C-alpha cells in the first residue's frame, strides 16, 4: 500500500505539517517512517508532537504535556494528569496489597491504560477534539479535530497502510455501560 491519503489528511488537520514532504512511495507503508514524518523536528522530552506514546511501564508518562494540539490551543493539562493519578493510584495500591491472590488473573496495567485513555478523551472532547489510539510496539494516541467522516476515512486508510506490520488504529469512544456497585 502506498496511499498518500493519511498524510494528506494529517496535513489538513495539522497545518505545521503542510510544508513537510510526504514520504516516498516505498516508505509510506513503514510505520517508523510515519512516526518520523509526524515529528516536525528532532523530538525531545518536551517538544510538541502529534503522535504521543503511553509508557507501558509508567502510564502516567502519557505525552499530554507534549501534545501539540493541546499546546497550540493553550489547554491546561494539569487537572487531567491529576485526575489520572487520583484514579490509578488506588488500583496500584490494591494490586500491590493483594497481588499474591489476584496477581496472575488481573492485569492492572490494562485497567490503568483504560483510565488514562478515558481521561485524555474527556479532555479532548471538552475542547472539540477526538482521540485516536494506535497499537504498535507501544500504544500511541493522537488528538484530531471532530469530523466523523474524515476520521473514518483516516482510520480505514491507516489500517490498510500498516496492516502488514500488524499496526492497528482505533477511534476511541467512551462506552457508558452500567457498573454494578
Low-confidence ranges of the chain (pLDDT < 50): 1, 42-43, 178, 180-181
Give every CB contact of residue 91 below 8 A, 6+ residues apart in sequence: 108, 111, 112, 115
In a domain? residue 101: yes
In a domain? residue 178: no
pLDDT in tens, 146-162: 999 999 999 999 999 99
Domains of the chain: total: 1
In a domain? residue 42: yes
Give the domain extent around 117. Answer: 5-171
- CB–CB of 75/127 below 8 Å? yes
In a domain? residue 179: no
Q: Global pTM?
A: 0.86
In a domain? residue 103: yes
Amino acid at each position: 500500500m502506498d496511499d498518500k491519503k493519511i498524510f494528506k489528511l494529517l496535513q489538513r488537520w495539522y497545518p505545521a505539517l503542510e510544508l513537510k514532504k510526504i514520504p516516498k512511495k516505498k516508505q509510506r507503508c513503514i510505520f517508523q517512517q510515519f512516526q518520523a514524518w509526524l515529528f516536525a523536528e528532532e523530538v525531545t522530552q518536551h517538544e510538541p508532537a502529534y503522535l504521543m506514546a503511553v509508557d507501558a511501564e509508567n502510564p502516567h508518562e502519557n505525552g499530554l504535556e507534549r501534545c501539540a494540539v493541546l499546546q497550540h490551543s493553550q489547554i491546561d493539562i494539569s487537572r487531567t494528569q491529576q485526575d489520572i493519578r487520583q484514579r490509578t493510584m488506588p488500583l496500584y495500591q490494591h494490586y500491590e496489597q493483594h497481588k499474591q491472590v489476584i496477581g496472575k488473573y488481573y492485569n492492572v496495567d490494562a485497567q490503568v491504560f483504560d483510565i488514562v485513555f478515558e481521561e485524555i478523551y474527556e479532555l479532548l472532547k471538552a475542547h472539540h477534539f477526538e482521540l485516536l489510539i494506535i497499537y504498535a510496539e507501544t500504544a500511541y494516541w493522537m488528538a484530531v479535530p471532530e469530523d466523523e467522516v474524515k476520521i473514518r476515512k483516516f482510520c480505514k486508510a491507516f489500517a490498510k497502510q500498516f496492516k502488514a506490520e500488524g499496526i492497528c488504529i482505533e477511534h476511541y469512544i467512551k462506552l457508558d455501560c452500567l457498573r454494578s456497585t
